[in-house]
Amino acid sequence: MSGTDDLVTYEMRGDVALLGLNRPEKRNAISDRFVEAIHDAVTRASSEAKAGVIHGHGTHFCAGLDLSEHSEKPLFEAVKGSRRWHAVFDAIERGTIPFVSAISGAAVGGGFELAAATAIRVAETNAFFALPEGQRGIFVGGGGSVRIARLIGPARMGDMMLTGRVLDAVTMEAWGGVSYVVETGEAVDRAVELADRMAGNAEFTNYAILNALPRIADMSSEDGLFTESMVASLATMTPEAKQRLKDFLEKRAAKVEAPGG
């Protein structure tokens, strides 16, 4: 693990890999070395687990870019650093297994960008979200202009960056930036529960959800519908789909239950 494994703890819970950002004394601020540790852990999880959860040790999820390193960087090094974040976060967003983020405390700047790369965000009531790049004189560089803008809309993202406003978990849920709000101390358990549910899906379907949906969103309607037909047909061809459909038809698979049912 290239000497970086202490920065991200790794544990398996059944089929789910639990990745813990482990630099609490710096509020899990992401240094260059930390990006590589995240990469190593994501690569390991992608080969060993069926789903993953990312959480932060200490009281905060992640304070974003390590500003102490960034201030020293020459221009081209900063560009390469940002591109490395893109590659690592892309492996989270469009890899082979789905990830869930469990957010407590700050999800700020690059911390919010990291959470935005996961398929689902679970936030505790104490969580807060900000994009203080305007105040710091920098710009998002970890994929936020694409991922966060798509989650909450470019106008709201611009509002956060321009004004430095800080949103609580409930407001961020209303804005579409998180999917679940839970009590303090409960995010990891809920995230593992959701990841476990995803781990029970057909692997190819999970892969198609992660990889086809964002690409189809980038396409024209015509191209998107065509691509959808191709992906849908491929999914149906897998032995796993054939078995699961047979199980349903022979009444061995769970039905869809009405909420509260």
The yes or no reply on residue 36 touching ligand 1HE (CB under 6 A) is: no
Q: Is 68 among the residues that bind ligand 1HE (CB under 6 A)?
A: yes
Output b/e per residue, 29-45; b: 16+ Cβ within 10 A.
Answer: bbbbebbbbbbbbbebb
**Residue 114: what residue type?**
L
At 150, the amino acid letter reads R
13 or 136: CB nearest ligand 1HE: 136
Could you give the strand order of the β-sheet that contains 180-182, starting from the edge strand earlier in sequence?
A: 8-13, 16-21, 51-56, 99-103, 120-124, 180-182
Pick one of 39, 44, 50, 60: the residue that binds ligand 1HE (CB under 6 A): 60
Asked if residues 11 and 1 have their Cβ atoms less than 8 Å apart, the reply is no
56 is a site residue for ligand 1HE (CB under 6 A): no
Single out the segment in contact with ligand 1HE by CB under 6 A; choices: 33-41, 65-73, 217-225, 234-242: 65-73
The answer to whether the beta carbons of residues 157 and 144 sit under 8 Å apart is yes
133 part of the active site:
yes
CB of 121 to ligand 1HE, least distance (A): 17
68 CB-near residues (< 8 Å, 6+ apart): none
Q: Is 148 in the site for ligand 1HE (CB under 6 A)?
A: no
113 is catalytic: yes
CB of 126 to ligand 1HE, least distance (A): 12
The 167-168 sheet, strands edge to edge: 106-108, 128-130, 167-168
Residues 82-141 that bind ligand 1HE (CB under 6 A): 82, 85, 106, 108-110, 132-133, 136, 138, 140-141
Binding site for ligand 1HE (CB under 6 A): 26-27, 29, 60, 63-68, 82, 85, 106, 108-110, 132-133, 136, 138, 140-142
Catalytic positions are 113, 133
